[in-house]
Structure 1
Amino acid sequence: MTTAELYATFAAQEARGVSPTYERLSLAVAQSDELLALLETLPEGKRQPNLLYGVVRFLRGPVDEPDAFVDYAVTHWPTVSGEMRVRATQTNEAGRCTALLPVLAKLPQPLALLEVGASAGLCLYPDQYGYRYGDHVVGTGTPVLECDASGLVPPTTLPKVVWRGGLDLNPLDVTSADDVAWLEALIWPEHTHRRARFVAAAKVAAADPPRLVRGDLVDDLPALAAEAPSDATLVVFHTSVLYQVPPDRRRAFADVVRDLDCHWIANEAADVLPYDNLPDPPNEALHNLLALDGTPLAWGRSHGQSLVWFG
């Protein structure tokens, strides 16, 4: 896929109907030979739309008008590209816990949670948030995470979590103003509800910080997993992380997880891990595939806003 096709596809499959701002920007980038040429000087994994848009917003550049955005990115390319090379799309969306909760609630309690690609660790607190699946409410915490779910019998109780650990190449700290500003820049412009949710979830994490370790998902996972209490059910999970990992390292990671005494929850795009005989996704929008121990269970949007259960 060319860089122009990458941005055009992002406009059609991810931004359309979700962020008019990013749809307009993506179409403009796809048609700008100058900006495309600059993007192609970056490593392939650093050319992604979310990273470019997050960096420009972090730098307080314009995003409301496509021509102004393209002009800013081109004119300030040394600064923009410098940030893109050292930063990553570490979106820390607590709403993704709506997909995790139905699985976590059914596992033997209590739980020790270990998130791969944890960012600042906001998804390590599924027991602290409130949930609304249609008219069904679970928990009394804040923020309240809403999910349009079908085919699902919603959980009636929250899991009991006794240990939280996270692994990331660049773990972020919700008590750091710079890290918080970066995470806010990754929230799409129109998503004021997500921004409010992030602020509330960050307060939860800051009140009881998780154990976050800088490390590689293959080489350093066993050591962190060994820290989990032996009398709790260890759950290794990840959401929208492995697409950034080369295929050979994905396979190595899967082998490592299978060798651990744990349950494994994967919530990734359907082409990231191998599955057979999948049902079709609900529509053409980009969906993640939720799986437990290699068994597919549901299609869901990447921010936890919807879930179609088939498992």
Structure 2
Amino acid sequence: MPTAMTYAEFAAREAHGVSPAYETLSVAVSHDPDVLALLDTLPPAKRQPNLLYAVVTFLGGPVTDQAAFRAFVRERWASIVPEMRTRATQTNETGRCALLLPVLAALPQPLALLEIGCSAGLNLYPDRYAYRYGDHPLGDSPVVLGCDLTGTPPPAALPQVVWRAGLDLNPLDITDPADVRWLESLIWPEHHHRRERLRAAARIAAADPPRLRRGDLVDDLAVVAEASPEGATLVIFNTSVLYQVPPDRRRAFTDRVRDLPGHWISVENPATFAYAGIPDPPDETLYNILALDGRPLAWTRPHGQAMSWFGRE
């Protein structure tokens, strides 16, 4: 897809109604030949809007004034390039735990969680967060995750988690201030509640850090999974990760994860997997698909703010 179209689509489908600043920036970039030419010097996977905006934020640049942003990109491109090439959109969005919870709570307890593309591992603590599905509260925690849920009753209990591990090409250290600053840079400018939530979740994880391993989602998956304790249901999960993985490696991961014991939960863009016979999404904004063991169950919003259930439990 041409870079200009990528930014125009991001404005219309992801930022519209969610982040006025990023919607304005994306429209401006889609019409700026100078910035587009700079972006086109990068590999296609490194041209994405979220990555550019996070790098500019990380470097202290402006993201709420489109003219100042464009000037910063042109003037500071030499500093931006190495960050764009080495960093990834490791948005450790705890709100996605609200999407996982209905499935996690229904599986045989206790659970051993293994997250693919874990970033700093904040989504490995679904049992230590509180939730609000509409008017239905669940749990007691300084981290409260709200989700508009339709099509299925909200979960009635939190899962029991006895083991947490993550696998990532570049896991982040939640006790490292620089890594936490990068996570904060990935949060959209108007989303102050997400920033506060990230900091609260970081304190929970830093008090009991998860086991995070640097490695490949195909080559190293079985080794990490084998370390899970006996007597616990192994749950391997990934959220908004596989779109960054080449198709051949994605297929290899799917084959590998299906051969392992336990269950696999996936929350990914519908373009990532070809699901047949599913209903249309609720509207024209961007939705992901929640699936259990390859079976699609629900349409979900990217940050966990809503879920429309259509599958059989």
Cα separation, 2, equivalents of 1:79 and 1:279: 45
In the other structure, the counterpart of 1:169 is 169
Q: Which amino acid aligns with 1:178?
A: A
Q: Deviations over 1:151-200 (max 9, x none)?
A: 12111110000000000000001110100000000000000010011011
Select between 148-157 and 46-55 the one with higher mean Cα deviation: 148-157
**Residue 80, structure 1, aligned to residue 73, structure 2:** no
Deviation of the 1:65 alpha carbon: 1.1
In the other structure, the counterpart of 2:198 is 198
Residue 227 of structure 2 aligns to a residue whose secondary structure is coil
Residue 180 of structure 1 aligns to a residue whose secondary structure is helix
* Residues 54 and 185, structure 1, Cα contact 8 Å, conserved in 2: yes
Residue 181 of structure 2 aligns to a residue whose secondary structure is helix
Deviation of the 1:273 alpha carbon: 1.4
Pairs within 5 Å for 1:1-311: 1-311=1-311
Deviation of the 1:62 alpha carbon: 1.1
Q: Deviations over 1:90-141 (max 9, x none)?
A: 0001110000000000000000000000000000000000000011111112
Cα separation, 2, equivalents of 1:151 and 1:100: 15
Q: Which amino acid aligns with 1:307?
A: M
Cα separation, 1, equivalents of 2:98 and 2:30: 33
Deviation of the 1:142 alpha carbon: 2.2
Cα separation, 2, equivalents of 1:227 and 1:273: 28
Deviation of the 1:275 alpha carbon: 1.2
Residue 105 of structure 1 aligns to a residue whose secondary structure is helix
Cα separation, 2, equivalents of 1:245 and 1:160: 31
Cα separation, 1, equivalents of 2:101 and 2:157: 9
- TM-score, length-normalised on structure 2? 0.99
Cα separation, 2, equivalents of 1:62 and 1:295: 42
* Residues 239 and 267, structure 1, Cα contact 8 Å, conserved in 2: yes
Cα separation, 1, equivalents of 2:142 and 2:251: 37
Residue 267 of structure 1 aligns to a residue whose secondary structure is strand
Cα separation, 2, equivalents of 1:279 and 1:157: 28
Deviation of the 1:301 alpha carbon: 0.3
Cα separation, 2, equivalents of 1:129 and 1:189: 24
Residue 238 of structure 1 aligns to a residue whose secondary structure is strand
* Residues 165 and 211, structure 1, Cα contact 8 Å, conserved in 2: yes
CA-atom RMSD in angstroms: 0.6
Deviation of the 1:63 alpha carbon: 1.2
Deviation of the 1:43 alpha carbon: 0.6
Residue 152 of structure 1 aligns to a residue whose secondary structure is coil
Deviation of the 1:262 alpha carbon: 1.7
Runs of 4+ in 1 over 4 A off after TM superposition: none
* Residues 128 and 142, structure 1, Cα contact 8 Å, conserved in 2: no
Q: Which amino acid aligns with 2:106?
A: K
* Residues 104 and 159, structure 1, Cα contact 8 Å, conserved in 2: yes
Q: Which amino acid aligns with 2:261?
A: D
Cα separation, 2, equivalents of 1:159 and 1:298: 20
Q: Which amino acid aligns with 2:62?
A: P
Deviation of the 1:274 alpha carbon: 2.2
Q: Structure 1 regions of 5+ residues with no counterpart?
A: none
Cα separation, 2, equivalents of 1:179 and 1:245: 22
Cα separation, 1, equivalents of 2:283 and 2:20: 19
Cα separation, 2, equivalents of 1:172 and 1:298: 29
- Report how many residues are paired: 311
Q: Which amino acid aligns with 2:158?
A: L
Q: Which amino acid aligns with 2:153?
A: V
